[in-house]
Structure 1
């Protein structure tokens, strides 16, 4: 569903060029959830931006469902096929538009009919009452706002969701609800996910495979099972995994 080959992204001009992504290759099958994890500034969100069309200046090749995409141009059909869910559920929603207006906007852009019915069904899918379409973002909790953002992404019936730290701005208890919602939606609609996160626990919970990034490159690609077992080859991957386990008494570590 997503294929990336030799992706390079740089910002700035000589002599101060920042080479953010360095020769990344990536293949994601239909229905798969693939995670990108690494520290801030490693280039994971830049890869997501290039695939989404937000980063225009890149070299290499990107294909969506077998169709090559260009850095400087995206057709409406390509844009509709993949949708993005942003990190900040408040900043990504227009504060002066009702939820109904926010959900109607992509339908208008793509000329889709049955807008009221689609809005109601989208709210149903993310577990929000239909009456919420008359509310404004500031009248909703953080978790409810992120459900609206997911509904907006789903309303065009895409095949791919690009998830940019979708739970990092939420309380821990709400994070679990959103992750479980995303997991259920993926299974019901056979969606393909590309999830970006700095949280190893989040990507391990949701993803089938996980690419660990450092300084613009993949240092290791591991399955969920390998990540859980700790069957890893690169020191940086092991370091991230150990950090995600949190504090453990010395006695328990020695027992392992």
Structure 2
């Protein structure tokens, strides 16, 4: 059974000029323990799919299921114990007036966790931050440290699935690899399933086994990371993406 299954998902937004179709009849399957990438240019609908899964898009049609349970219009606490999301911007995703201790403590209490002090220390250790960071505020942290706190917050309910929306794109290049390696380690340690949105094919190649290529709200192709590395796409748009991505041009000579 697929850990995440999506069938004929369409998402639209009603604006003054009329309806905008952001996602059109998307279907995909993500197996348990798999890391699945969504790639495509800006505005292709990648992040909208993640937002639909977690209930942040009110207007959608189709069917979505997580761990065999059909998703309706609202998400309950049990859902958020199973599925968590890490957002793109660590500067915006943490409350500026809450310390790391408050951010993690409130999340743990919300999900009914006991031994909050021990759990906070364990979460900080899991993301590579020592106890010295526990009572710091976001303005006292670097971008990479903030994203580590955001990841710790996502891990607090002990989820099965993490949805990763460009988790390194707002970070300095020198920090991006550290966060990606951390996410890779956490996935194996906690047997997590990932769905990762990225415009960076090198990131997806490092993190994922399977990739869906999106164009104008539609999935035009699903391929393995091996097919991507070997430049074996079937769709012209997928080939265009690969060839225009630095480092993915076929070597000659």
Task: Assess same fold via TM > 0.5.
Answer: yes
Q: CA deviation at 1:56?
A: 2.0
CA contact (8 A) 2:82 2:160 kept: yes
- Aligned residue pair count: 251
Separation in 2 of the partners of 1:190 and 1:246?
A: 30
2:183 corresponds to = 182
CA distance in 2, matches of 1:113, 1:140: 27
Runs of 4+ deviating beyond 6 Å = none
- How big is the shift at 1:243? 2.0
Counterparts in 2 of 1:29 and 1:139: CA distance versus 1, 3 Å: same
Corresponding residue number in structure 2 for 1:25: 27
Partner of 1:3: 5
The root-mean-square deviation of aligned C-alpha atoms, in Å, is 1.6
Query: How far does residue 233 in structure 1 lie from its aligned partner after superposition?
Result: 1.0
Contact kept? 2:229, 2:248, Cα under 8 Å:
no
Structure 1, gaps ≥5 residues long: none
> Which residue is 2:48 aligned to?
46
Q: Equivalent residues in 2 for 1:66-105 (5 A)?
A: 66-71=68-73, 73-105=74-106
Deviations 1:7-55 (A, max 9, x none): 0111116972111111000110000000001111111111000001111
1:1-256 paired onto structure 2 within 5 Å = 1-12=3-14, 16-71=18-73, 73-246=74-247, 255=252
Structure 1 Cα separation of the partners of residues 189 and 135 of structure 2? 27
SS at match of 1:17: strand
Q: 2: CA distance between counterparts of 1:59 and 1:130?
A: 45
In the TM superposition, residue 201 of structure 1 has moved relative to its aligned partner by 1.1
Q: Cα offset for 1:90? A: 1.2
Give a deviation string over 1:109-149, Cα, whole Å, max 9, x none. 12221111111000000110112011011111111111110
Structure 1 CA distance for aligned equivalents of residues 56 and 135 of structure 2: 30
**Residues of 1 paired with 2:190 and 2:38: CA distance?**
22
Name the CA shift for 1:129/1:14 in 2 (closer, same or farther; >3 Å).
Answer: closer
Distance (Å, rounded) in 1 between the aligned partners of 2:188 and 2:90: 23
Tell me the distance in 2 between the aligned counterparts of 1:92 and 1:14.
Answer: 28
**As a proportion of its length, which structure holds more helix?**
1
In structure 2, stretches of 5+ residues that fail to align are: none
TM-score scaled by structure 2?
0.95
